[in-house]
Amino acid sequence: MIGRLNHVAIAVPDLDAAAAQYRSTLGATVGERQDEPAHGVTVVFITLPNTKIELLHPLGANSPIAGFLEKNPSGGIHHICYEVDDILAARDRLRDAGARVLGDGEPKIGAHGKPVLFLHPKDFTGTLIELEQA
């Protein structure tokens, strides 16, 4: 069901510093800041030859990333994102298998302009999983 790894998301306390580190220290191609109000985050994508890294920073006081950074003040891996061909079919199959889809279960538009869903980390060995329609 899952396809290729789309990205690994890292929550960071200082988005500009993290982007600069990837750009200057690691020599990576760093995208522009994108505010994603529907998800409560500001993101920067790092493009790699085989996938992407998504740097996440809170956008607003109610951001889910704010709570993550309170528990992990230095930042850390927040989630991994896999592509799926049909997000609704994937959601239904996962629910039938007993997996919990977060939120209301309806896809939202993600940072790439495509439908996304998140799966409860307790159902996947402690890892928050994002599914994105390919």
Active site includes 130?
A: yes
pTM > 0.85: yes or no:
yes
Domain range for 122: 2-133
CATH assignment of the domain containing 116: 3.10.180.10
Q: What backbone phi and psi angles, to 5 degrees, belong to 31? A: -80, -175
- The model's pLDDT over 52-102, given as tens digits with 9 standing for 90+, comes to 999 999 998 889 999 999 999 999 999 999 999 999 999 999 999 999 999
Q: 125, 94, 91: which is closest to 107 by C-alpha?
A: 91
When divided into structural domains, the chain yields a total of 1
Tell me, what's the pLDDT at 61?
83
**Exposed/middle/buried for residue 96 (C-beta within 10 Å: 0-12, 13-18, 19+):** exposed
Tell me, what's the pLDDT at 106?
96
- Of 54, 83, 130, 132, the active-site residue reads 130
